[in-house]
Amino acid sequence: MSRDLASFMTQCRNRVEAAMNHWLVRLTQTGQLREAMHYSLLNGGKRVRPLLVYASAQAVSETLARRHAAALDGAACALECIHAYSLVHDDLPAMDDDDLRRGQPTCHIAFGEASAILAGDALQTLAFDILSQLPDTPAETRIALVQTLAGAAGAQGMVLGQAIDLAAVNHQLSLQELQTMHSHKTGALICASVALGARIANADAEQLQALDDYARAVGLAFQVQDDILDVTSDTATLGKQQGADMARNKPTYVSLLGLDAARQKAADLHQQALQALSGFGETADPLRQLSAYIVQRHN
């Protein structure tokens, strides 16, 4: 990882975590629900989706990214709320039944199943509350952002992908079916992250399309690398149970393609992402570097 990317990632993570703390502190009710929300939202993580919010806005306009910094913080926070809620629910016994996330006990292990379900529900609704209140953002833009995130998170996006994933256990999928599943389960929220940042920076239609092409490639690359790490890494490094997909007999890129071909697939997707950014100048360098990071990461 380059020094520039490391600095950018640290700055963005500090921004979004400050925003998340701000919104959690605003909750008037204390007790186990807020504790479970805080635990799930602020217990670490790569913050890839917030990073993409900030980087896509910068790619469109550094000036507007600075001018709309508070709105970007809110959008980044909303994306991470949705991501955190999805992990809480994904880990539940009725879903993947995991007991480790980011090196810590999963939310339902730490707080009980009922509190975990409610914490996930609350994080999901908090995301849309945040988007509805973005500062210095026209109402029509806020509505468009809410619609974008709702589409990506719901029954046409992430939730659909999760449903396909659960139905695929002990079933053989084709490569195209696997790609369809992950373009919804993982890719939809990554595409939304890029779109929200770009829209806040007033991207035009051509820029939005190019950035969507980038995000689709990066979203799949992220999942391919996840499948590779599930085979090649260890539990301590991953912060979750290594080999979990294999143990559940889930279809993966490695099981379908083999390890070497899966690595080549990730490299090819990285090149597609770079090609999508060919019309952007140096302002898109964080996006380019994030694509490389996604296919080279070790956890």
Q: What is the CATH number of the domain that holds 65?
A: 1.10.600.10
Q: How far is CA 173 from the centre of its chain?
A: 24
DSSP 135: T
Interatomic CA distance for residues 153 and 30, integer angstroms: 27
Q: Which two tokens stand for residue 190?
A: 């990554």
Average pLDDT over residues 121-134: 97
pLDDT at 239 over 60: no
Half-sphere exposure in the Cβ direction for 252 (13 Å, CA): 26
Helices (H) and strands (E) in the chain, counts: 17, 2
pLDDT at 144 over 60: yes
Interatomic CA distance for residues 75 and 200, integer angstroms: 9
How many other CB atoms sit within 10 Å of the CB of residue 33? 16
Work out the angle between the directed axes of helices 205-232 and 48-60 (0-180°, nearest 10): 150
Query: What is the pTM (predicted TM-score) of this model?
Result: 0.93
Collapse the DSSP code of 104 into the 3-class scheme (helix H, G, I; strand E, B; otherwise coil) and give the result. strand
pLDDT in tens, 44-98: 889 999 999 999 999 999 999 999 999 999 999 999 999 999 999 999 999 989 9
Question: Where is average pLDDT lowest: 140-154, 156-170, 221-235?
Answer: 221-235
Residue 101 phi, psi (nearest 5)? -145, 125
Give me the pLDDT at residue 216, please. Answer: 97
Domain containing residue 261: 3-296
pLDDT in tens, 30-42: 789 999 999 999 9
Distance spanning both ends of the chain, measured CA to CA = 14
Q: Which two tokens stand for residue 7?
A: 């600095």
Structural domain total, the chain? 1
Give me the pLDDT at residue 182, please. Answer: 92
pLDDT at 184 over 90: yes
Collapse the DSSP code of 143 into the 3-class scheme (helix H, G, I; strand E, B; otherwise coil) and give the result. helix
Q: Which two tokens stand for residue 10?
A: 């640290």
The answer for 223, left when phi > 0, alpha when psi is -120 to 50, beta otherwise, is alpha
